[in-house]
Structure 1
Amino acid sequence: MTSAAISTTGPTADLADGPAAGGSVVVPIPTPAGDLSDALACDLAVADALGYELARLFRLVQRTSRGSGPADLDRATFHVLIHLASADGPQRSADLAEALCTDPSTVSRRVAALVKQGLIERRADPDDGRASLLAVTDDGHSALEQSRRYKARLVAEVLGAWPIEKRQALVALLADFCTDFQQHDMSPGPVARRH
């Protein structure tokens, strides 16, 4: 079996402060003759490094958002607004919870707060008089647009020195990862390997 270094900050560094000295993890890469345990060891090492980097990213984003002022929405509000704004018409709360992979009671509390803030509104469901539909208000659209512009500027600054191919690769790989993660979450077995 051969080995390869995956650049990571490692578990000894502060998640938000960047790489520690010598911050690479050596990940075993199975040779063609390697056995299943070698492949599993490689998968686990890569998953561990990825999990660490994702946790570090979330902490960095959280720290950056604290000082961003009113231009940025908190993550939960952003996800509710972006989903409702991009949906094909108003949504029921239960459908919103399912789309966001969130508990209905959590969504219900978030919706109540956003209605109170005037960012979303409840409308009567024409198909069921007992139910209501959720839609983004004009103020909600405005807040969402401001937040999207803020996030886009921030990411553009961070990736400014990257060549366009590297930026596109990041988006493509992250989209593949999210799709596979979502499919794995909904299915009992492992997702087939991509080549």
Structure 2
Amino acid sequence: MTGNPGGTTVVEWDVGSTGAEQHESFVRLEREIGLLLRRSRAISARLARELHPDLDGAAYGLLALLADGGPLRASDLVARLGLDKSTVSRQVSSLVALGMVDREPDPADGRAQVLRPSAEGAARLSGIREARRARWEADLSGWPADDVATLAELLARLNRIGEAREAQAAPGG
């Protein structure tokens, strides 16, 4: 795959590939990503309980996004995650009530609020992320460093495609 000046991705197949081989590649990709997503949801639920016994898995992801890209408005979270506004609102309220997230006035618009992990939320999240990184390092210890870097780059490219698609699907996008 290569990028072009218009910002879209162009798929380039080997000249020797058949339509059936290409189709089978996408079937396998869908299957493997589906498995990864199911496993990820289960892991997020477990990690959320480690953060706080009353926290659900989806809220864990929201806290991680705030830690990585915050402070953010709730509307930013809706746009980035592609979730329903009421779902995000419920998760934010839960995180605030549990002391994991703080609401602050938006410096750009005092009428609005931005969200950021509280000191406790950031500390708990950092500890869990460090444990996750250590597990990835153990699980992939037999992989060459270049393969790990390639996997990370390919996943980043896939995530950018998903983010662009969500942005286009959003109202006004």
CA distance in 1, matches of 2:23, 2:81: 27
Aligned to 2:99: 118
CA distance in 2, matches of 1:97, 1:178: 16
Identity %: 30
CA distance in 2, matches of 1:96, 1:48: 31
Q: Quick check: 1:122–1:133 contact (8 Å CA) kept in 2? A: yes
Number of residue pairs the alignment of both structures matches: 154
Q: Could you state the TM-score of these two structures normalised by the residue count of structure 2? A: 0.72
Q: Could you state the TM-score of these two structures normalised by the residue count of structure 1? A: 0.65
Larger Rg: 1
Amino acid at match of 2:32: E
Which has a greater percent of helix?
A: 2
The correspondence for 2:73, drawn from 79, 92, 95, is: 92
1:78 matched to 2:60? The reply is yes
* Structure 1 residues not aligned, in runs of 5+: 1-29, 189-195
* Structure 2 residues not aligned, in runs of 5+: 1-12
1:57 matched to 2:32? The reply is no
Amino acid at match of 1:83: L
- Structure number with higher relative contact order (C-alpha < 8 Å, ≥ 6 residues apart): 2
Q: Quick check: 1:79–1:100 contact (8 Å CA) kept in 2? A: no
Amino acid at match of 2:66: L
Q: CA deviation at 1:50?
A: 1.0
CA distance in 2, matches of 1:135, 1:186: 22
Q: Quick check: 2:102–2:118 contact (8 Å CA) kept in 1? A: yes
Q: Quick check: 2:99–2:118 contact (8 Å CA) kept in 1? A: yes
Q: CA deviation at 1:112?
A: 0.4
How big is the alpha-carbon RMSD for the aligned residues of Structure 1 and Structure 2?
A: 3.0
CA distance in 1, matches of 2:74, 2:14: 50
